[in-house]
Amino acid sequence: MKVFRGTEEEIMEDISFDFRKHERSGELNMQVSSFFRKEGNKTAYVTFSDKKRQAEGEIPSCRIISSAGFTEEEVAGLELYMKQNLDMLSNMAATIDPIKAFMQ
């Protein structure tokens, strides 16, 4: 497993570089949902995707719960990214207003 360390930009550069190594697009999109209650716990989804692959993770557990097209090493890198950036991802999820987002 490759360990990703550094700032958010450096981590994403490392992850993108690893993807290019596998002859795939270096561009990775990330989406964060608002928090909701799942089995009594506050949870949000984080989705990573490009043209051919998709992975969905949960915070605060920082686990990828579904993946299509990513290698095990890449999934481990995405989970590490979520762990290292949990505060930022949580803040993003907390500031999303579902009604306002729906109306756009």
Strand partners, 45: 58
73 φ, ψ to 5°?
Answer: -65, -40
Q: What pLDDT score does 26 carry?
A: 64
Q: How far apart, in Å, are the Cα atoms of 1 and each of 48, 77, 81? A: 19, 8, 13
**Residue ranges per domain, the chain?**
29-96
Q: What pLDDT score does 28 carry?
A: 86
Q: What pLDDT score does 21 carry?
A: 44
Q: What pLDDT score does 8 carry?
A: 45
HSE at residue 100, side-chain half, CA atoms within 13 A, is 5
User: In a structure prediction context, what are the per-residue pLDDT tens digits for the chain, which is 104 residues long?
Assistant: 233 344 444 444 444 434 444 444 468 889 999 999 888 899 999 999 998 999 999 999 999 999 999 999 999 999 999 999 999 999 999 988 777 766 76
